[in-house]
Amino acid sequence: MTDLAREASIRRRWQPILLLAPFQFIFGLIYSWGAISPAIHAQSGWSQNMLNLAFSLTPLALLPSVIAAGHLLQRMAPKTLLAIALACFTLGGAAGLAANGAMMFMLGYSVLALGVGAGLSTAACIALVSRLYPQAKGTLGGGLLALYGVSSILSAPLFAALDEAWGWRRALAVVWVTYAAVGWFAWILLPAAPASGTRHTARVPIMHVLRHRSLRWAMFIVLAAAPLGSASFAAIGHLTRAIGYGPGFGLLAVSMMALGNGAGRLGFGLLADWRSAAFSRNVVLGVNSLAGALLLLALHGAVVWAFTIYPLLAGLAFGGMAGKLPALAAHVVEEGHAESAFGLLFGTFALASFLGPLANAAFGVQEAATTLAMCAISALGMAIWLTFSRPEANRTRF
């Protein structure tokens, strides 16, 4: 093979990854809500509670859609499912932005476009890279989820610049139209993925997949560990003030969490490929447990300086829990059920992302942080107990 032919082959090999990148920015718009929400509040008069609800509805809608996507992928090509996700984004965004009331905006934009659309898209993208690159599904899946997590680096400044000139509705419409157009163009160029191993057999009911005890334990551990990170994302500014730091550190803490979120999604996906899904899981739970312990010390005045590294550790752990899920799903169930398992695991992660901010609202930020930090520490304890007490869990590398 000539050098030119070899370079062309490498470009063709990595082309699907590049074409999937726009979908992470499209559905990662949810992470730009911190820039979009204040503009809507100032210009529309919609209450802050209503806007907080709009943010929470997205992970709530993502939960059933990503579980359903894992089931649909047994019979449907990832590219087809990705087209449905794009249609949800296109139609939901149009309906939400055309509506005058907050409720219709939330149903169209938050629920259909970013909730249902993101759930279908995430499962489809992970399935596509897992089928095209089975030896690197952890690294590439984590990389895509990392782009999803850090997409606000582009989207938030873009919206802010347009909002200053045109107002929030026209600014968001321009971002939506641009992203939708890029997404459809990328979709046209995407190759079809190889068929699933179960594609020509009877569908596997979700309850059958849930019979895997290791999967049920994995879901329970994610549900215990992840709310600390989502609660911290929602209230890191309040926590910094409560512990005694000034607003300057609050802004730095937001950036540290975002950086950790992206690095964790990529790094722990790569670690799962390099060592094992079990090793990656234990390390990320260890980081999350350490973050929880430092937060407890800082909240109770014992070691206040420990909070300076908490945002980075919390972001790493929260992102890492998402980044390791593609590889973990393939190890906790038998061959052919990994996509359904990923849907259930990522759906659980979405539910945990919803429960963290909900705990802040229900119990108060400091009380919720204390409880969720203790849950994070207990999640590590459960994982260690499983490693040494369940031989079948070790065989599945859970």
Closest to 304 in 3D by CA, of 313, 295, 312: 295
**Residue from 367, 274, 381, 266 nearest 324 by CA:** 266
76 and 106 housed in the same domain: yes
Same domain? For 226 and 261 the reply is yes
Same domain for 363 and 284: yes
H runs (alpha helix) in 133-167: 137-150, 152-166
Residue 198 forms part of a structural domain: no
Written as six digits, the tokens of 224 are 């215990």
Tokens of 139: 């690294």
Element of type H or E holding 271: helix 247-274
Domain count, the chain: 2
- pLDDT tens per residue, range 88-128: 999 999 999 998 888 999 999 999 999 999 989 988 888 88
> What pTM does this model have?
0.73
Q: What is the per-residue pLDDT across 192-245, written as a single tens digit (0 to 9) for each?
A: 766 555 444 445 556 666 667 777 888 889 899 999 988 887 777 778 877 777
Per the structure, the complete domain to which residue 89 belongs is given by 1-192
Give the pLDDT of residue 341: 75
302 pLDDT tier (thresholds 50, 70, 90): low
The number of angstroms, rounded, from the C-alpha of 274 to the middle of its chain's C-alpha atoms is: 22
| Residue 274's CATH number | 1.20.1250.20
Domain boundary among 163, 192, 221: 192
Provide the token pair at 114: 């970013």
Is residue 197 in some structural domain? no
